[in-house]
Amino acid sequence: MATRLRSAGRRCTVIGGSGFLGRHMVEQLLDRGYSVNVFDIQQSFESDGVKFFLGDLCDKEALLPALQGVSVAFHCASPAPSSDNRELFYKVNFMGTKAVIEACKEAGVQKLVLTSSASVVFEGTDIKNGSEDLPYAQKPIDYYTETKILQEKEVLSANDPDNNFLTVAIRPHGIFGPRDPQLVPILIQAAKRGKMKFIIGDGKNLVDFTYVENVVHGHILAAEKLQKGSPLCGKAFHITNDEPVPFWAFMSRILTGLDYDPPKYHIPYWLAYYLALLLALLLGLLRPLVTIKATFTPMRVALAGTFHYYSCERAKRDMGYRPVVGLEEAIARTLQSYPHLRRARA
Ligand SMILES: NC(=O)C1=CN([C@@H]2O[C@H](COP(=O)(O)OP(=O)(O)OC[C@H]3O[C@@H](n4cnc5c(N)ncnc54)[C@H](OP(=O)(O)O)[C@@H]3O)[C@@H](O)[C@H]2O)C=CC1
Ligand SMILES: CC(C)CCC[C@@H](C)[C@H]1CC[C@H]2C3=C(CC[C@]12C)[C@@]1(C)CCC(=O)C[C@@H]1CC3
């Protein structure tokens, strides 16, 4: 109730508000009493309380009307990580984010909250309880991550309290929940094609999977605690479920929850990685004659076969963050939201 009163009448803009995370963000902001503008390249839903502005975020002039009279902008738009289009990632994540910063300043927006990614420090090797002090990856695993690093640096260095412009970056990892277009659908599609038979490595590698409502909660807390002189200014924060789980136990839980068999055979990590690399090279050579999208990419093998979980102590200390939905409940809600992906029994 206190949050609702404090936020009543305050308008914010969600850039990327038609996407998976963005739409959840819009819903929670409305619940908490904010008025919401959405800026996106497409409109994916209708809502009485929301004003939609359609356009490309690389175009500063198109952004400006969506930012007028707004105190906080959330920037969670990005091309899909699987798009594999270097130019597009560079244009949208890097150049587009510069346009977002310029437009925010010009429109008098006081706070910019960026959705970054914990992957900005991941190089394909184990990270256990990694803190925000880890250096950015020198060899990022893909173009998506490369440009998420550029984007985060740009936003954090734009923090300028003297000119009343404050910035913060939230680094979630492995977001899942209702309407997620990636994790559960890709997994089930692979299972349907009989491709989910193998566990990559020994299956003991711990990973963070973060329920979308916790990610949203972290963003809204960050916006509310971001004040002149606060420790949030110009800093990055991991937001996780704070319950790392073995990657393959999580995948198996989703598969069995939707009536698919869990993987049971083991394949050494290095073998899976080189097979995925070989496949990627072959598909690269055959393009544009063949345009098949591989399920097992070197990036996914690296994510599936290594430890990568992160400490969210900084978010707990500086913004009072605690996950609001535990992992078991989060999985149950997610499974319930995908009746159409449940295996049809013969
Ligand atoms: N999903 C995950 O596990 C993680 C995601 N993140 C970050 O979270 C954020 C949200 O991800 P998620 O919700 O999964 O992604 P989505 O693809 O679901 O949402 C992104 C939205 O941004 C839109 N968009 C893309 N390009 C532009 C553009 N040039 N101008 C305006 N709008 C644009 C997309 O439209 P369209 O669909 O038409 O392209 C889409 O509506 C991203 O920044 C991502 O990097 C970080 C860590 C983990
Ligand atoms: C086919 C199987 C080996 C794996 C299927 C599940 C994967 C599609 C997902 C498991 C971990 C996910 C993940 C992301 C995308 C979907 C997965 C690869 C991100 C790359 C999304 C964007 C980020 O910023 C980082 C995420 C890490 C985890």
* Residues 234-283 pLDDT 10s: 999 999 999 999 999 999 999 999 999 999 999 999 999 999 999 989 98
**Is 159 among the domain residues?**
yes
Please give the model's pTM, rounded to 2 decimal places.
Answer: 0.95
**Is 332 among the domain residues?**
no
Instruction: Give me the pLDDT at residue 289, please.
Output: 79
Ligand 1 midpoint to CA 266 (Å): 33
State the chain's mean pLDDT as an integer: 94
Average pLDDT over residues 36-62: 96
Q: Is the model more confident about 336 or about 344? A: 336
**Is 186 among the domain residues?**
no
Ligand 1 atom 43: the closest Cα is on which residue? 76
Report the number of distinct structural domains present in the chain: 1
Residue 152 contacts residue 114 (beta carbons within 8 Å): yes
**Is 123 among the domain residues?**
yes
Is the model's pLDDT at 292 over the cut of 90? no
The finding on whether 62 has its CB within 6 A of some atom of ligand 1 is no
Question: Which of 34, 90, 136, 144 is flagged as catalytic?
Answer: 144
Q: 310 catalytic, yes or no?
A: no
Query: For position 322, which CATH number holds?
Result: 3.40.50.720
Ligand 2 midpoint to CA 116 (Å): 15
The finding on whether 76 has its CB within 6 A of some atom of ligand 1 is yes
The finding on whether 3 has its CB within 6 A of some atom of ligand 2 is no
Query: 186 in helix, strand or coil?
Result: helix
Closest ligand to the CA of 93: 1
**φ, ψ for residue 310 (rounded to 5)?**
-130, 145
Helix axes 298-305, 269-286, angle to 10 degrees: 160
Spatial separation of the C-alpha atoms in residues 38 and 32, rounded to whole Å: 16
pLDDT single digits (tens) 297-329: 898 999 999 999 999 999 999 999 999 999 999
Tell me which residue of 219, 212, 191 sits closest to 329, measured CA to CA: 212
ipTM of the complex: 0.96
Ligand 2 atom 26: the closest Cα is on which residue? 174
Average pLDDT over residues 144-149: 96
**Is 62 among the domain residues?**
yes
**Is 143 among the domain residues?**
yes
**Is 199 among the domain residues?**
no
Spatial separation of the C-alpha atoms in residues 116 and 244, rounded to whole Å: 19
The finding on whether 159 has its CB within 6 A of some atom of ligand 2 is no
Spatial separation of the C-alpha atoms in residues 298 and 125, rounded to whole Å: 12
Question: Which structural domain range is residue 34 located in?
Answer: 2-179+208-246+310-327
**Is 300 among the domain residues?**
no
Instruction: Give me the pLDDT at residue 6, please.
Output: 52
Label the pairing between strands 35-40 and 111-115: unpaired
Tell me which residue of 56, 54, 61 sits closest to 102, measured CA to CA: 61
Percent of the chain's residues with pLDDT above 70? 97
**φ, ψ for residue 70 (rounded to 5)?**
-110, 140
pLDDT single digits (tens) 82-91: 887 899 999 9
